[in-house]
């Protein structure tokens, strides 16, 4: 979502008339499934990335807010054309409702590595283990189907909920980016974590 967006007021959210989603998930878990990103996903992405609660702990170098559906559609089209990334929408299986986005970015085929990114956009689904299940589905796919050797991620040091999730999934802290971004009146660090395929299989 690398497009500059104006900042919205705290707690702000956006209401849109989104289409009904009928796509069948490609990767299935017990409660969530992952299906490939589609053009129509601009609707939920617009809602999620205009919600201050969702963005609060992401630790982005730039906080992104989209001002229009047309802008979000351009971003999605760019994501779909990126040959070095693969994005999935996290679907809650019971209602076939999109609740977040997860994917592999900065994919390096020569070195078999990729960056993992995750956002649970539906706040009402926080704290229910949906993110962990989505991460495990993606890791299984990445290591066993895409033959990726190393997956890394970046997480803000104050995002304790996300760090606990990544710890549970086997990620190991390998470094720290000092004063990575400005957040709530001061400079904050970001952690770099990674997971190797052999660690995933032995875990």
pLDDT band at 11 (very low <50, low <70, confident <90, very high): very low
CA distance 173 to 186: 23
Paired with 177 in beta bridges are 190
pLDDT attached to residue 36 = 96
pLDDT attached to residue 66 = 59
Q: Is position 199 within any domain? A: no
pLDDT tens column, 30-87: 999 999 999 999 999 999 988 888 887 776 644 555 568 888 899 999 999 999 999 9
Pick the residue with more confidence: 59 or 106? 106
- Token pair belonging to 40: 């129509």
CA of residue 41 relative to chain centroid, distance = 14
Largest Cα separation within the chain, whole Å, is 46
Find all residues with CB under 8 Å of 69, minimum gap 6, and list them: 16, 42, 43, 46
The residue segments making up the domain with residue 117 are 27-152
Q: Is position 95 within any domain? A: yes
> Model's pTM, two decimal places?
0.85
What average pLDDT does the chain have? 86
Region 151-165 average pLDDT: 95
Number of domains in the chain: 1
- The alpha helices in the chain, defined as continuous H runs, are 42-48, 52-55, 69-81, 130-144, 160-168, 197-202
Q: Is position 79 within any domain? A: yes
CA distance 34 to 89: 6
Q: Is position 84 within any domain? A: yes
What percent of the chain is modeled with pLDDT above 70?
Answer: 83
pLDDT band at 23 (very low <50, low <70, confident <90, very high): low
Q: Is position 135 within any domain? A: yes
Region 3-18 average pLDDT: 43
> In CATH, what number is assigned to the domain containing residue 90?
3.40.630.30
Q: Is position 42 within any domain? A: yes
CA distance 109 to 113: 7
Pick the residue with more confidence: 19 or 126? 126
How many CB atoms are closer than 10 A to CB 174? 11
Q: In sequence order, what E strands does the chain have?
A: 27-28, 32-36, 86-92, 97-108, 113-120, 150-156, 172-183, 186-196
∠ CA 202-33-199, nearest 5°, is 15
pLDDT band at 115 (very low <50, low <70, confident <90, very high): very high
Eight-class DSSP state of 127: T
The answer, yes or no, to whether residue 6 has pLDDT greater than 50, is no
The answer, yes or no, to whether residue 101 has pLDDT greater than 90, is yes
pLDDT band at 198 (very low <50, low <70, confident <90, very high): very high
């Amino acid at each position: 979502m690398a497009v500059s967006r104006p900042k919205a007021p705290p707690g702000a959210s956006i209401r849109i008339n989104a289409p009904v989603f009928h796509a069948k998930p490609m990767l299935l878990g017990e409660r969530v499934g992952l299906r490939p990103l589609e053009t129509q996903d601009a609707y939920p992405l617009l809602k999620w990335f205009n919600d201050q609660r969702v963005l609060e702990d992401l630790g982005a170098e730039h906080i992104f807010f989209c001002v229009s559906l047309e802008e979000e559609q351009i971003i999605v089209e760019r994501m779909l054309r990126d040959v070095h990334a693969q994005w999935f929408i996290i679907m809650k299986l019971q209602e076939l409702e999109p609740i977040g986005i997860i994917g592999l970015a900065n994919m390096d085929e020569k070195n078999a590595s990729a960056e993992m990114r995750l956002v649970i956009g539906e706040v009402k689904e926080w704290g229910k283990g949906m993110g962990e299940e989505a991460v495990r589905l993606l890791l299984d796919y990445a290591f066993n189907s895409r033959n990726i050797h190393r997956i890394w991620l970046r997480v803000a040091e104050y995002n304790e909920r996300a760090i606990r999730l990544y710890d549970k999934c086997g990620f190991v802290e390998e470094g720290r980016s000092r004063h990575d971004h400005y957040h709530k009146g001061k400079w904050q660090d970001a952690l770099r974590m990674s997971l190797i395929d052999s660690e995933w299989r032995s875990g």
